[in-house]
Structure 1
């Protein structure tokens, strides 16, 4: 069984992107993303699972994301992850044509060349939707969301939104309802000091949150 962790920055209305890019520039938030997705015990690595558009949005100099196993999903089985003349990548990168085969790889460390500590789903919207729809009784499912909640401004121009994973279930007392963890729990899980409370950067206010089920 693979437990999946979604990591995402989203507005109060769940906006996550505009014109294929992030509508905000938050260097400290990106540092948090890099650290938490890279932080793994010696002898193991984390995996980052993403769709093709998310892969393409990563600047060339950062591809593949270092110190992580990069797993990219594209329906195009012939999709070229890296140019033929690209230097040897510094981190492993794998192409899969669907989520099931990608999850199967994640459940077999020998096929990744390293023991996988944690698996993070990093986008985009359709992959968030697909992974959130996985049943808790299935082999793999999302049990944690690391949400950087963009509090203001509203960024109403966002044209891409993630699913409203909280919805009404948080208040309905259902077994699969999401619960907001305390900051201490987030920090313990992360394994390093995470800024607490409302942060402000470049005129944007946001908060690091962790939701679990």
Structure 2
């Protein structure tokens, strides 16, 4: 009897868990966006932007949404840290690629990194959301420039869900829509990339 009750408890308290990799160049605003996502989801915390340091390693935030857990994993974007990204590819369910839309001089570098990610076999079929960050300070053409960047490598990204959205880690604009899009695409893609399970 205990085994039956224990099994039922585990079944009804388990949550599907999805992993989202937050990738992009150093200084693109990944950690600031993650802190704002955390604040919007929990209503607490959220480090002041001026206190945020470059990520060395990984920052992880879990967000509960629609009886599911979305685990955001912010990986350091410095050139010498990008080599560790591949160790997280196999367990990922989506990629959130952050482009600093206020930094036109690094667009080509961001394009090269995104193109390299699109060619990774372990990320094949994984939804990709490209966030044009710093929309609070970028000019009105910046989002268009990021869309053009993505369009220029559309052939390599073919066969997966891809979207470009503008966002700000300062005022939180665009982040609810971003998280909703990611979750909906991960759910659709779950037959190909099943979620892990956790208990609450």
TM-score with structure 2 setting the length = 0.37
| More contact order relative to length (CA 8 Å, sep ≥ 6) | 1
| Greater strand fraction, Structure 1 or Structure 2 | 1
